[in-house]
Structure formats: structure tokens, C-alpha cells
Amino acid sequence: MAKWKLLVGSKSFGKAFPEHLRQLEAAGCEIVPNQVGRPYLAAELKEALRGIDAIVTGTDELDAEVIASADRLKTIAKHGVGLDNIDLKAARARGIVVSAAFGAVHDSVADLTLALLLAVARGIVPAHLSTRSGQWKGFMGLELRGKTLGIVGLGRIGKEVALRAEAFGMRLAATDPRPDPAFAAAHQVRYLSLPELLAASDAVSLHAGLEQAGRPLLGAGELALMKRGAILVNTGRGHLVDEGALAEVLREGKLLGAGLDVFQEEPPKKSPLLGLENVVLAPHMAGDTREARRRMGEITVENVVRVMRGERPLSPVE
């Protein structure tokens, strides 16, 4: 098998687990490390991908022009699960095999989803800040038992969230373009339309792709359908929610609060959510556990090596 040149775009690949780089080298890869110390911009990639057979990418700008200019690129291996940075249509047109680390982060993301839900429901952040400042006062919270959790996107992560919520005694509702009747029957999940789910849920958790081009999944109209006193959690994608509209319903007290790990712009330097007291914010850390990083690296390595051998990757993007 001829030696492949592999560009590492992902900032985290091989950092915590350098053995993943060694495994690729043992398989016949010449590793080209990231030269910019951050995700590559499209203009930079046009030069960086010259003579490159494979890229392990994080959030590098792999747009149509970049992919068209890549003279030897055979595979794009996403070190993660989100594919927004890759022009999949352009990759397919060039016969470039795209893969992702599906299944690597579902437990980690589900854990943080429940952590954010509990943090908002019990006022943990303001209680912590108050106690640390020397105050000693009560904070009235909400129990999860008996409340309805609406899950938008009942895929791998959504199902893990459902299992955790079920253990807390929550009722479950979901919306998904590809229903899983067996899972729904086993865990008493009601499938609803998005408007029905928003109106019926005491808490809503987002795990969907962006289905509507040009607008967020939850804008002012959709947020208006939610119950007064409900909680919104987003560990999916930042562009699923109109942050201006969300800030408005949080300011007026329609929603009890929100827990967010993803934002329309990252880092969220100008987000209207930053100054609100009834939000819990995290820096896109849902998948950042040692266990998830190890799994992500292992799957990424396997995806690349299989393509090198002329085989189907472990987790292809169809």
C-alpha cells in the first residue's frame, strides 16, 4: 500500500491520545501537522491540501472551492460528528469518501444535556454565586419527575437523553423525521409534530440538524408556542435557535431559563444571551470528555485506514 500524506486539521486529534497518530503512521500515513494552530480557513486550505491524500478535520472550512482544488484528496475524516463545515455535495462529485466519528460522543453530550437541565431547574449557578459571595438564602427550584421532556431529534444522542430523563421520572415526547417505533414503544415516547411538542413540553432539548435553510428551527413564532415557565436546552447546533428571540422570551419571563452549549457565533462575543441571569452557558464542551475523545480518535483512525485499504469506512457519511 502506497504511503499517504495526511493533513491534521483538527486541533484536538492526537493531543490527548498521541497513539492515534502513531497508528496512522504504522498504517502507512505521512502525518502533516496543523501549521496554523487553529482551524484552517478556506484560503489556507487551498494551499495546505496540495498533494494531500487525506485530512482529519475538525471545523476547517472545506467548502466547494477548496474541495475542487484538492488535487489528490481521497478522504475527509471528520474528528467529530457535525458536518456543517464540509460541502458534502462537492465531495461526492469528486468521489471523495467522507466519514465521521458517529457514536463517539453520545454519552458525553447526553450527560451535559441533563446537567444543563438540572442546573436551570434548580438554579444551581445563581445559588453557587450567591453562596460564594457570603449570602445564605433559599432558591426555589423544580423537580423533574412528572414533567414532560420534548426531544427534538431522537437519534443516537436524543435516545441517550431520553434514557437519562426516564430515570428521573420524566414523561417523553419527541419529533424526528425518521421515527423509531420500537424505541418509542419501549420507553413510552410520544411522537408529535414540532408545534405540538413545543406546546406540550415542560422542557425542550435540541439534538436536530438544521432542516430549514435560511432560518433557525426555533424563531420567535416557535418560542411563543412553548409553555410559560418551560426550559430550553441546546447541546445540538447553535443555529437551531434565534438567539435574539430567545433572549426576548427569557427577559420577559415566559421561559424559566435556558441551558446552552452551542451558539450562532462561537465564541459568542455579541450574543444577547450573555447578560441574562436565567441562562447557563457552556463553551461547546458537551463532547469533551476523556472517554469521548478516545472513542472519537479510535473511530477516526479506523475510518481513514479502511479507506486506505479500499474498504468502506467504519462510519461513512452517505
Grid coordinates given for 267: 465564541
The CA-atom distances, in angstroms, between 1 and each of 50, 56, 305 are 21, 19, 11
**Catalytic position from the list 156, 171, 237, 293:** 237
Whether 306 is catalytic is no
Side-chain half-sphere CA neighbours of 187 within 13 A = 26
From CA 165, how far away is CA 172, in angstroms rounded?
8
- Is the Cβ–Cβ distance between 173 and 192 less than 8 Å? yes
Whether 284 is catalytic is yes
- Chain position carrying cell 430549514: 212
How many whole angstroms from its chain centre is CA 22? 27
Residue 258, burial from CB neighbour count under 10 angstroms (0-12, 13-18, 19+): buried
From CA 198, how far away is CA 74, in angstroms rounded?
43
Longest CA–CA separation in the chain, Å: 68
Whether 237 is catalytic is yes
**Catalytic position from the list 47, 211, 265, 266:** 266
Q: Strand 97-99 vs strand 255-260: parallel, antiparallel, or unpaired?
A: unpaired
Grid coordinates given for 28: 502507512
**Catalytic position from the list 50, 92, 187, 284:** 284
From CA 142, how far away is CA 278, in angstroms rounded?
14
- Is the Cβ–Cβ distance between 54 and 286 less than 8 Å? no
293's enclosing H/E stretch is: helix 290-308
The CA-atom distances, in angstroms, between 67 and each of 47, 64, 81, 86, 313 are 11, 5, 19, 9, 19
Q: Identify which of 138, 169, 171, 142 has the alpha carbon closest to the alpha carbon of residue 257.
A: 142
Residues with catalytic function: 237, 266, 284
